[in-house]
Amino acid sequence: MNASEAAARVMVALDKPDAAEALRVAEALRPFGCWVKVGLELFYAVGPDIVRECRRLGFRIFLDLKLHDIPNQVKGAARSLARLGVDMINVHAAGGTEMMRAAAQGAAEGAEAAGRSAPPLIVAVTQLTSTTREMMNGEIGIPGEVEDTVLRYARLAKKAGLHGVVASPLEAAAIKRACGRDFLAVTPGIRPAGHEAGDQRRIASPLEALRAGADFLVVGRPVAAAPDPAAALEQILKEMTEA
Ligand code: C5P
């Protein structure tokens, strides 16, 4: 894999409180050809304009708003987001297959209404990478291993016609075995050597994630909070090209 192939598989999370800070990072990453991920913090602060700005800079965009509501609401939300022209959106698999199917339908309608050639990819969040087995068993009330829940949700997402799931790199290989090579594994919880885990729990290095079969690596703080985001991304790409 060369550096530009590697960059096309990295999604940098612009987890910043305002447009100026987010766009400062985005501008620095522009030459690489990576994706950007717009999440809750930035989208709630700035609104749809941040998507338009990132598109103007030429980025492909994962709009990570983790939809989870009744099917009718999620359908409408997916329709609105698809109209913005993003490349990937997501929902919580815990919302069930009817909700996930509604998301796919809404996204298709939105893309068509906006005259876009294809709707965004839709992936389902399985278990957040900040969730441990103890939390899942004791607080959320789901018994067993995290991986079993992740795989159950992945199969549900596939059944609902979604393109893949968001999960820890530690689960990527099992997801591919359960759902097939073409079913996307989008993996946050990426930590290059020497970086703090922070609130993340189920983590791996960029190279480990790739070797496990991850299609997209979501990297937030190791790049976006680095003093020099471009240098931080370059280091990650260098590691990935060894794969
Ligand atoms: O800073 P860090 O690399 O931990 O950022 C990870 C990003 O991935 C955050 O934007 C977070 O919202 C997102 N994410 C996650 N776990 C999921 C889904 C998304 O950490 N299951």
* 13 alpha carbon – ligand 1 mean position (Å): 7
pLDDT at residue 243 greater than cutoff 80: no
Instruction: Pick the more confident residue, 243 or 103.
Output: 103
Per-residue model confidence as pLDDT tens digits over 94-106: 999 999 999 999 9
pLDDT over 80 at 73, yes or no: yes
DSSP-based three-state secondary structure for 234: helix
What's the pLDDT at 193?
84
Give the pLDDT of residue 21. Answer: 98
pLDDT computed for residue 242 by the predictor: 87
Residue 75 exposed, middle or buried by CB count within 10 Å (0-12, 13-18, 19+):
buried
Q: What is the mean pLDDT of residues 16-21?
A: 98
Task: Evaluate if residue 230 carries a pLDDT over 90.
Answer: yes
pLDDT tens digits along 157-200: 999 999 999 999 999 999 999 999 999 999 999 999 888 899 98
Which of 11, 50, 218 gets mutated to test ligand 1 (max ligand atoms within 8 A of its CB)? 218
**Which is the closest atom of ligand 1 to the Cα of 129?**
16
CA–CA gap between residue 109 and residue 74 (Å, rounded) = 13
Closest C-alpha to ligand 1, atom 10 = 13
40 CB neighbour count, 10 Å cutoff = 11
Active site residue 66: yes
Residue 137, pLDDT > 90, answer yes
pLDDT score, position 126: 96
State residue 172's pLDDT score: 97
Q: Is there a contact between 212 and 177 (Cβ–Cβ < 8 Å)? A: no
CA distance 1 to 14: 25
Distance CA(172)–CA(215), nearest Å, equals 9
pLDDT at 67 over 80: yes
pLDDT of residue 115: 96
Please name the residue whose Cα sits nearest to atom 6 of ligand 1. 220
List pLDDT tens digits, range 36-63. Answer: 999 999 999 999 999 999 999 999 999 9
Q: Residue 139 corresponds to which tokens in the numbers above?
A: 């607080």
